[in-house]
């Protein structure tokens, strides 16, 4: 574990486990690197160097007042990658982390990147606009912002107990421990940081960033995702990224890093092994 220092002086926390071909895991809102524990442990045990950072304003990284936007997140990611001199790197982004990864490629290219995996990710563009009529209405994100201001602790409980893990679906059985971990990580984020990140993940247009992808890409998405709908996220991203591979998890919710961790781990390992043989 350690820290790197961003251009504005913000300290970015990261974990660095194992050795071998590097994999960098970028987390979702409003979580931190701990949300990747199952995947980080698995990949490190199977011969990979696994780096997982806390986005600025989240977890153990500095809670800056400014910089809560995708351009800054991507530049922080570049600082981490450059500081560790990571090469032939596989970038894996979950939810908001998928946006961070996409914007990194758009701003910094793929010179250090061997492959990309988008998991339940927010690209290409979540918000409904005139030129994105299939997007999610702004009122949905306004409600999240209102909940964040009114009682963000309860907001995070409600997300964990309901749509994030699909625990509001008939027959769902997501453990109290998994739901509590979501709440605990969420409360470790800075109030302003988490609030402003809502706009960052919902209103940032990643379509141009995806057009810059020129390395093998795997897109994984549940078709019952109630947070980033499949048609808005995974389906649209896979259609836009040249030669992307799409894996659809039937009936799966947003938080598949926990609810489908065995399947996700196997798919990540298969993708990484394929990259190593080329």
* Strand ranges inside the chain, DSSP E: 2-5, 11-17, 22-26, 49-53, 89-94, 113-119, 217-222, 245-249
In the structure encoding, which two tokens stand for residue 104, read together? 């990194």
Q: Is 148 marked active-site?
A: no
Q: Looking at 26, 61, 95, 186, which residue is catalytic?
A: 95
Cross-strand pairs, 118 = 93, 219
Q: Is 237 marked active-site?
A: no
Q: Is 66 marked active-site?
A: no
What CA–CA distance (Å, rounded) separates 37 from 132? 35
SS3 letters for 48-95?
Answer: CEEEEECCCCCCCCCCCCCCCCHHHHHHHHHHHHHHCCCCCEEEEEEC
Q: Looking at 62, 209, 225, 267, which residue is catalytic?
A: 225
What CA–CA distance (Å, rounded) separates 186 from 59? 8
Q: Looking at 53, 58, 254, 260, which residue is catalytic?
A: 254
Residues labelled as active-site residues? 95, 225, 254
């Amino acid at each position: 574990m350690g820290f790197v220092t961003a251009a504005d002086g913000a300290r970015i926390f990261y974990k660095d486990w194992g050795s071998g071909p590097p994999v960098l895991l970028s987390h979702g809102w409003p979580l931190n690197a701990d949300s990747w524990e199952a995947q980080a442990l698995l990949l490190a045990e199977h011969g990979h160097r696994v780096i997982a950072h806390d986005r600025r304003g989240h977890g153990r990284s500095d809670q800056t007042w400014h910089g809560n936007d995708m351009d800054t997140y991507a530049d922080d990611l570049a600082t981490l990658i450059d500081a560790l001199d990571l090469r032939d790197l596989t970038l894996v982004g979950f939810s908001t982390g998928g946006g961070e990864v996409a914007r990194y490629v758009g701003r910094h290219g793929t010179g250090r990147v061997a492959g990309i995996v988008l998991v339940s990710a927010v690209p290409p563009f979540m918000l409904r606009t005139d030129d994105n009529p299939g997007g999610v209405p702004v009122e949905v994100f306004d409600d999240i912002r209102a909940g964040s201001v009114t009682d963000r602790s309860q907001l995070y409980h409600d997300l964990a107990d309901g749509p994030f893990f699909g625990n509001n679906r008939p027959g769902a059985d997501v453990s109290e421990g998994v739901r509590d971990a979501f709440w605990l990580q969420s409360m470790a984020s800075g109030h302003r940081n988490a609030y402003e990140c809502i706009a960052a993940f919902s209103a940032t247009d990643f379509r141009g960033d995806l057009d810059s992808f020129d390395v093998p890409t795997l897109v994984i998405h549940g078709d019952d995702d109630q947070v980033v709908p499949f048609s808005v996220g995974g389906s649209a991203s896979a259609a836009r990224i040249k030669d992307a591979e799409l894996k659809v998890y039937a009936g799966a919710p947003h938080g598949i890093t926990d609810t489908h961790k065995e399947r996700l781990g196997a798919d990540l390992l298969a993708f990484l092994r394929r990259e190593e043989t080329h």
